Amino acid sequence: MLSAPPKKTQYVSRQSDENGIIHWSPEENQIWQELYERQAALLPGRACEQYMQGLELLKLTQDRIPQLKDIDEVLMRETGWKTAEVPALINFTDFFTLLANKQFPVATFIRSKEEFDYLQEPDVFHEIFGHCPLLTNPAFAHFTHTYGKLGLAASKEDRGYLARLYWFTVEFGLLKTSEGLRIYGGGILSSPGETHYALDSETPERYDLKPIDVLRTPYRIDIMQPLYYVLEDFDNLFDIAQMDIMALVEEAKKLGLYEPKFPPKNKLAS
Catalytic residues: 126, 131, 171, 190
Nearest to 109 by CA among 35, 189, 15: 15
User: Is residue 114 marked as binding?
Assistant: no
What CA–CA distances, in Å, run from 233 to 50, 51, 180?
11, 14, 12
Sequence-distant (≥ 6) Cβ neighbours of residue 254 within 8 angstroms = none
| Spatial distance between the Cα atoms of 165 and 103, rounded to a whole number of angstroms | 19
In 3-state terms, what secondary structure has residue 2?
coil
In 3-state terms, what secondary structure has residue 70?
helix
72 near 93, Cβ under 8 Å? Answer: no
For the four alpha carbons of 97, 99, 102 and 104, in that order, the dihedral sign comes to: positive
Nearest to 175 by CA among 241, 228, 138: 228
User: Is residue 145 marked as binding?
Assistant: no
User: Is residue 126 marked as binding?
Assistant: yes
34 near 124, Cβ under 8 Å? Answer: no
Say how far residue 29 (Cα) sits from the centre of its chain: 22
| Spatial distance between the Cα atoms of 209 and 232, rounded to a whole number of angstroms | 8
Binding residues: 126, 131, 171
Binding residues for Fe cation: 126, 131, 171
